[in-house]
Structure 1
Amino acid sequence: MRTALVIGTGLIGTSAALALAARGVTVHLRDHDPGRARTAAALGAGTDAAPEGPVDLVLVAVPPALTAGTLAEALRAGLGRGYLDVASVKGGPRRELERTGLDLTAYIGTHPMAGKERSGPLAAGGDLFEGRPWVLTPTRETDTEVLNLALELVALCRAVPVVMDADAHDRAVALVSHTPQLVSSMVAARLEEADETAVRLCGQGIRDVTRIAASDPRMWVDILSANPGPVADVLAGVAADLDETVRALRALESGDDADRRAGASGVADVLRRGNAGRARVPGKHGAAPAAYETVAVLISDQPGELARIFADAGRAGVNVEDVRIEHATGQQAGLVQLMVEPAAAQALGEALRERGWSLRTG
């Protein structure tokens, strides 16, 4: 791949363009808002000048509702040798394209499983896809050369290719992406009119659950409108669990011992099933989830403190597998939780204490 045209310079399009440009591909940028394309170009994602002829790959990174129309225009104009999209749903756009009667042998649907709460070119980064799954949904009609171009794109973005059927993909993302967004938003909505005293008690648990609730509602309306059935199916299952859990909690309020035992059993059941489901979530680099030990370090809100912690961990020869930061309400301080292999936890704690860090135990 020597040349590419990225249509849509939001978070995903600009991030892909940055990764391609960094690896020597000449990238042309196009957006319905020329200002966004200029911003992406200024970030080093390519040029907003039109290509002189057909490019090797046309990457369409527009909202799902616009994906099929944008692809159809690009195909009719003969803008490239191969065409792909990065929409978060795959079945609908494919069927809409098929209804145009266009030759789709040069097209493949894809979806990088990466994103942020923020959108737009300024949120983009060339490392956004590194180590993340990138779904490819070829059909029997997909030209081998186009599949190879898509695989090259994934490799240049340092992602991990995953081949799936389009409708199976849509059912999967309904479970692992679209439903979590709605559930996160529903929990966060409970805080909108909550008493200020309750809000001040927010800790890491509520921050973890509501992190993605900060996402752009307009973007998510587009996504959910393109995949409503599978998301509704998953939510129906969640609703059934909620109903059972509410009944179990009401039973715990009962004065009857049998009711309380039944209630406790119901609550324990959903918690156990949650443990079992969480254990299936892949860990680092897609490997089986690992049980890490946490080294909790008190940190002041001063420039360079996080970098100093990681540098000190590196000097101790310990690899930090994951990190969480919990800010102290109303204070210029917080708690950094460093997740490491259990065998390395004691050595890291001792090394950090020697370097003057205050650790929280228990």
Structure 2
Amino acid sequence: MHTAAVVGTGLIGTSIALALTGRGVTTHLIDRDPHSVRIAAARGAGTPGPPSAPVDIAVICVPPSDVARTIADHQKAELARVYTDVASVKALPHAECLALGCDTAALVGGHPLAGRERSGPLSARADLFQDRHWVLTPTAETSEATLNRALELVSLCGAVPVLLDPSDHDRAVALVSHLPHLMASLTAARLLEGEGHAVRLAGRGVRDVTRIAAGDSGLWTDILAANAPALSALLTQLTADLQRTAAALDRLTEEGPEQQDDALADLTDVLRRGAEGRARIATTHGGRGAGSHAVLSVSLGDQDRRLERLLDDVSEARVDLEDLLLPETTAPPRGAVELLVAPDVARPLTDALRDRGWAVR
């Protein structure tokens, strides 16, 4: 790959452009918002404006509802030889591309599973996709050359490719991304009705549960609407669990001892299933079960008091360390230290420390 075009210079698009430019790919930046393009270009993400000849690949970084029309327009203008997108829904945009008569042999859907709470080109990072999953959804029409070019894109961005059918992808992200975001938003919305003293008591637990509710509501409306069938099925199951839980709590308030025992059993079952589901994530990410650790190696350099500042930054990130391994040198510690953390907080802590200027592996 020698040339690329990124259409949409938000967080994801600019991060892709930074990664490609850093690997020597001549990258062109296209966006309806000229201010966004200027910021992305100023950050070294590429050259503003379309290329003079078709590029090797065009990466379409727009909301799901805009994907098909954007691809159709740029295929008509011969922007690239191969096209992919980064929308978090895949089946509907592909169907819309077919309806618009797009060249689907030169198209493969994509979805990098990475992001940040902050949006826009100023928040972009070249290493945003490092070691993260990047789903590609080839169909029967996708040519081998198109898929190989998309795989090269994933590799240049440092991500791990996963091949899925579009519908399988949409059901998966409905479970692990879209439903959690909706639940975080519904929980956070309750805070609007809370009394002032209650909100002031909010600690790490409620902050963790509601963190992703801070996302762009307009973009998330687009995402949830595009994946409505898969998300609706999950909400039906969740509604049954909520009704069962509410009924159990009502019985604990109103019924006699025997009925209360049944209610406690129902409540315990809901919580037990939650713990078992949570353990599946820890096992998948950690590789050795829920009690495993992730190890982050952080370079201290040769400056005194760097360890003190590092621990302050970890504290600011609201992450609990499982352990700290110091180099076998005299105090003050120099070189690299190893931070042992729970697998699910390794990526957020890495992002937070890199934001503060630390070199983290």
TM-score by length of 1: 0.82
The corresponding residue for 2:132 is: 132
Q: What is the count of residue pairs matched by the alignment?
A: 319
Q: Which moved more, 1:208-217 or 1:249-258?
A: 249-258
Q: CA deviation at 1:251?
A: 1.4
What are structure 2's unaligned runs of at least 5 residues? 295-305, 315-322, 328-336, 350-361
Q: Which residue of 1 aligns with 2:141?
A: 141
Q: Which amino acid aligns with 1:193?
A: E
- 2:247 aligned with 1:250, yes or no? no
> Corresponding residue for 1:341?
none
Matched residue, 2:175: 175
Q: Secondary structure at the match of 1:45?
A: coil
SS of residue paired to 1:126? coil
Paired residue type of 1:307: L
SS in 1 for 2:59: strand
Report matched runs for 1:125-274 at 5 Å. Answer: 125-274=125-274
**1:353 matched residue in structure 2:** none
Match of 1:7 in 2: 7
Shift of residue 194 of structure 1? 0.7
Distance 1:163-1:103 versus aligned 2 partners, 3 A rule: same
CA pair 52-287 structure 1, distance change in 2 beyond 3 A: farther
Match of 1:86 in 2: 86
* Identical amino acids, percent of aligned pairs: 50
**Residue by residue, what CA displacement relative to the aligned partner does 1:193-228 show, whole Å, maximum 9, x if unpaired?**
211111111111101100001111111111112111
The 3-state SS of whatever aligns with 2:62 is coil
Question: Which letter does structure 2 place at the counterpart of 1:70?
Answer: T
Q: d(CA) in 1 for partners of 2:260 and 2:220?
A: 41
* Closer/same/farther in 2, CA of residues 323 and 286 from structure 1, 3 Å limit: closer
Would you say the 8 A contact 1:284–1:321 is kept in 2? no
User: How far apart, CA to CA, are the structure 2 residues paired with 1:262 and 1:307?
Assistant: 50
For 2:324, give the aligned amino acid. Answer: A
Deviation at 1:62, TM superposition (A): 0.5
Q: 1:92 to 1:306 in 2, by over 3 A?
A: farther
Match of 2:326 among 303, 309, 315: 315
Distance verdict in 2 for CA 1:228–1:164, change over 3 Å: same
Q: Give the 3 Å change call, closer, same or farther, for CA 285–46 of structure 1 in structure 2.
A: farther
User: Would the aligned equivalents of 1:12 and 1:115 in 2 still touch at CA under 8 Å?
Assistant: yes
Asked if the contact 2:248/2:267 (under 8 Å) is kept, the reply is yes
SS of aligned partner of 1:4:
strand
Look up the match of 1:17.
17
Tell me how far apart the structure 1 counterparts of residues 289 and 223 of structure 2 sit (CA, whole Å).
Answer: 29
Q: Which amino acid counterpart does residue 39 of structure 1 have in structure 2?
A: I
**3-state SS of 2:192 partner:** coil
2:359 maps to: none
Is the 2:18–2:45 contact (alpha carbons within 8 Å) kept by the matching residues of 1? yes
CA contact (8 A) 2:18 2:126 kept: yes
Instruction: Describe the shift of the 1:306–1:260 C-alpha distance in structure 2 as closer, same or farther (beyond 3 A).
Output: farther
- How far, CA to CA, are the matches of 1:139 and 1:163 in structure 2? 10
Any residues of structure 2 matched to 1:59-98 within 5 Å, and which?
59-98=59-98
Query: What's the CA shift string for 1:48-104, capped at 9, x where partnerless?
Result: 033121101100000111100000111111111111011110001101111122321
Q: Which structure: greater helix fraction?
A: 2
- Aligned CA distance change for structure 1 residues 286 and 48 (closer, same or farther; 3 Å): farther
**CA contact under 8 A between 2:248 and 2:264: conserved in structure 1?**
yes
RMSD over equivalenced CA pairs, Å:
2.5
State whether residues 280 and 288 of structure 1, in contact with CA within 8 Å, keep that contact through their aligned partners in structure 2.
no
Q: Which runs of 5+ in 1 are unaligned?
A: 295-302, 326-337, 339-362
Task: Give the distance between the partners of 1:215 and 1:70, measured in 2 at CA.
Answer: 23
**Contact 1:117/1:216 (8 A) holds in 2:** no
Aligned counterparts of 1:238 and 1:171: Cα–Cα separation in 2: 15
Aligned CA distance change for structure 1 residues 122 and 161 (closer, same or farther; 3 Å):
same
State the alpha-carbon separation in 2 of the partners of residues 324 and 105 from structure 1: 38
Instruction: Work out the CA distance in 2 between the residues paired with 1:45 and 1:293.
Output: 35
- Tell me, in whole angstroms, the C-alpha distance in 1 between the residues paired with 2:221 and 2:6: 23
3-state DSSP class of the match of 1:155? helix
**CA separation in 2, counterparts of 1:271 and 1:154?**
38
TM-score (normalizing by structure 2): 0.83
Q: Summarize deviations over 1:238-280 as a string: whole Å, max 9, x none.
A: 1110000011111112351111101110010011111111111
* In 2, Cα distance between equivalents of 1:184 and 1:77: 41
